[in-house]
Amino acid sequence: MSNESLILTPGAVPLAQWRSIYRGASLQLDPACAAAVAASAATVERIVAKGEPVYGINTGFGKLASVRIEAADLETLQRNIVLSHAAGVGEATPAAITRLMMALKLASLAQGASGIRPATLALLEAMLARGVVPVVPGQGSVGASGDLAPLSHMTEVMIGVGEAFTPTGRMPAVEALASVGLEPVVLGPKEGLALLNGTQFSTANALAGLFEAERLLQSALLTGALSTDAAKGTDAPFDARIHKLRKHKGQMATAEALRQLLVGSAIRASHLSGDERVQDPYCLRCQPQVMGACLDVLHHAADLLETEANGVSDNPLIFSSDNGGEALSGGNFHAEPVAFAADMIAMAICEIGSLAERRIAMLVDPALSGLPAFLTPKPGLNSGFMIPQVTAAALVSENKQRAYPASVDSIPTSANQEDHVSMAAHGARRLLPMAENAMAVIAIEWLCAAQGCDFHAPLTTSTPLAAVHAALRAQVPHLSDDRHIQPDMQAAIGMVRTGALIASARFALPAIA
């Protein structure tokens, strides 16, 4: 858990704060939102008092919207929707993503358009502050009508049902709340629907994927530059003049990073003249074009998700200042923007890993790299990095299969009332496993590139790349003869996953926020 503490301003939370929350920062709502929340709750009270049928307040839900619910049953109605909609299956969502989902829901409800009561909102905020994280099965949302099942599993803990993770372990909801001095709430009119309707599960997963993709891209720029030096590649393709002519911002930014990373390399200086190769393979030469395109796509996905994270996506919406207060039904719960963003991120993750695998294949091939076969001093007796390249190829192919757009799929639900859905939830939920695969590929490249540079000793690479090389060698020694290689791979993967690879370079890399 991060020691950072944030003030969440509903509707105006920058992407960097969502990243901090995902990484474990604590948070509290800006007190300035209290007036709008109270006004929204008062509007719901007035609607109930009028007795006119309003969807989600005194009617059934979905296909049952025409069924009128009497005032005496409104609390039961809200409890029932939570219990009946908590129908998820599969493994529990990682706690970091569930926390982010809770924070997103908190920021949405606090904008005063959902009819939530201050006390109910305070319970959700207190759960976040005290480490009560609902157990949320990962499967069951189609990304429209809101992420109903996952958000219901979040909400059920608030009413004392289900399970939650706490600082002292996983336990039933009532015990979890009591362990930190909290009690379940009885939901009032509209509150159950407000809590379980929205895109926060899909958005949390997509944001998590975005933040891991950012770390992946930065890591791949470092290993890509190190591979370029290991293969005695040229930095001419990174010349700024080339990229200014094409004008893509990401391409220019990644080219500049790659060029600067190689400045001062004695390995590069050793073959500035007399190199018979006219052009390097695409996996080296076209890094700015591919990685820059990935960076631009991630920037666009980030814009979409930052907008979504600061929006209100439940239904109906409460407008307290209009005509004495109105509840309007619409479709803000439809997660198509999130689905598109998730598909973009998936494609970027896939391509980053795919290009890195091609660099690995190039390094282990003596005809392309000029290095010993499979990067071992004694090929034949030793297999060196032969099979790690196979593993990288397997992971890349798995990501290719997962990268198929989720947003082009739809299946009708709720007796055809909800006849077009976004599939944002599973489109976003695949991103972390894809990022894990790609990070393993980057870790394998790191091992191979460092091994390749070892063969050029006593020549050294640039200062930031030498630091990257040294950070790996502090954990994984040079591979002289074959040894159990999985521990080496796991050590490198761990350093990529935690950001230790990036930190070791002490170099400003392109970022999304």
pLDDT digits 0-9 by tens, 368-427: 999 999 999 999 999 999 999 999 999 999 999 999 999 999 998 888 888 899 999 999
Provide the number of structural domains found in the chain. 2
Task: Flag whether 90 is in a domain.
Answer: yes
Task: Flag whether 2 is in a domain.
Answer: no
328: left (phi > 0), else alpha (psi -120 to 50), else beta? beta
Domain extent for 128: 12-198
Kind of pairing between the strands at 5-8 and 26-29:
parallel
Q: State the Cα torsion 236-237-241-245 to the nearest 10°.
A: 160
DSSP line for 465-479: HHHHHHHHHTTS---
Q: State the Cα torsion 271-276-279-280 to the nearest 10°.
A: -60
Cα(197)–Cα(151) distance, rounded to whole angstroms?
Answer: 7
Task: Flag whether 294 is in a domain.
Answer: yes
22, 55, 282, 404: the catalytic one is 55
Give residue 276's pLDDT: 64
Give residue 277's pLDDT: 67
Q: Clarify whether residues 393 and 480 are in a common domain.
A: yes
The pTM of the full predicted model, rounded to 2 decimals, is 0.96
DSSP 3-state assignment of 67?
coil
Q: Clarify whether residues 178 and 297 are in a common domain.
A: no
Q: Terminus-to-terminus CA distance in the chain, angstroms?
A: 21
Q: Clarify whether residues 449 and 498 are in a common domain.
A: yes
**Backbone dihedral angles phi then psi of residue 172, each to the nearest 5 degrees:** -55, 155
The predicted-structure confidence for 75-95, as pLDDT tens digits, reads as follows 998 999 999 999 999 999 999
Q: Clarify whether residues 385 and 424 are in a common domain.
A: yes
Give residue 58's pLDDT: 85
Tens-digit pLDDT string for the chain (513 aa) = 677 899 999 999 999 999 999 999 999 999 999 999 999 999 999 988 888 888 878 887 777 778 888 888 889 989 999 999 999 999 999 999 999 999 999 999 999 999 999 999 999 999 999 999 999 999 999 998 889 999 999 999 999 999 999 999 999 999 999 999 999 999 999 999 999 999 999 999 999 999 999 999 999 999 999 999 999 999 999 999 999 999 999 999 999 999 999 999 999 999 887 666 668 999 999 999 999 999 999 999 999 999 999 999 999 999 987 666 888 989 999 999 999 999 999 999 999 999 999 999 999 999 999 999 999 999 999 999 999 999 999 999 999 999 999 999 999 888 888 889 999 999 999 999 999 999 999 999 999 999 999 999 999 999 999 999 999 999 999 999 999 999 999 999 999 999 999 999 999 999 998
Q: Clarify whether residues 219 and 264 are in a common domain.
A: yes
Q: Clarify whether residues 183 and 265 are in a common domain.
A: no
Residue 55 annotated among the catalytic residues of the structure: yes
Task: Flag whether 318 is in a domain.
Answer: no
Cα(244)–Cα(264) distance, rounded to whole angstroms?
Answer: 23
Cα(423)–Cα(335) distance, rounded to whole angstroms?
Answer: 8
CATH of the domain at 493: 1.20.200.10
Is residue 410 within 8 Å of residue 426, measured between CB atoms? no
Strands (E), 332-449: none
Q: Clarify whether residues 52 and 170 are in a common domain.
A: yes
Give residue 279's pLDDT: 85
Give residue 55's pLDDT: 83
Tokens of 506: 């002490």
Q: Clarify whether residues 124 and 257 are in a common domain.
A: no
Q: Clarify whether residues 261 and 184 are in a common domain.
A: no
Cα(223)–Cα(423) distance, rounded to whole angstroms?
Answer: 34
Distance, CA of 471 to chain centre: 26
Task: Flag whether 232 is in a domain.
Answer: yes
Is residue 488 within 8 Å of residue 375, measured between CB atoms? no
Is residue 338 within 8 Å of residue 143, measured between CB atoms? yes
Task: Flag whether 510 is in a domain.
Answer: no
Task: Flag whether 205 is in a domain.
Answer: no
The CA angle 396-402-405, to the nearest 5 degrees, is 130
Cα(240)–Cα(145) distance, rounded to whole angstroms?
Answer: 48
Give residue 129's pLDDT: 97
Q: Clarify whether residues 180 and 227 are in a common domain.
A: no
Q: Clarify whether residues 37 and 170 are in a common domain.
A: yes
DSSP 3-state assignment of 371?
coil
Domain boundary among 175, 198, 221: 198
Using the Cα atoms of residue 287, residue 290, residue 291 and residue 292 in order, give the sign of their dihedral.
Answer: positive
Of all helices (H) and strands (E), which one includes residue 92?
A: strand 89-92
DSSP line for 319-353: ETTSTT-EEE---TT--HHHHHHHHHHHHHHHHHH
DSSP 131: T
Task: Flag whether 5 is in a domain.
Answer: no
Q: Clarify whether residues 499 and 359 are in a common domain.
A: yes
Is residue 314 within 8 Å of residue 198, measured between CB atoms? yes
Cα(278)–Cα(286) distance, rounded to whole angstroms?
Answer: 15
Beta-bridged to residue 317, according to DSSP, are 328
CATH of the domain at 164: 1.10.275.10
Cα(396)–Cα(325) distance, rounded to whole angstroms?
Answer: 54
Domain boundary among 198, 227, 249: 198
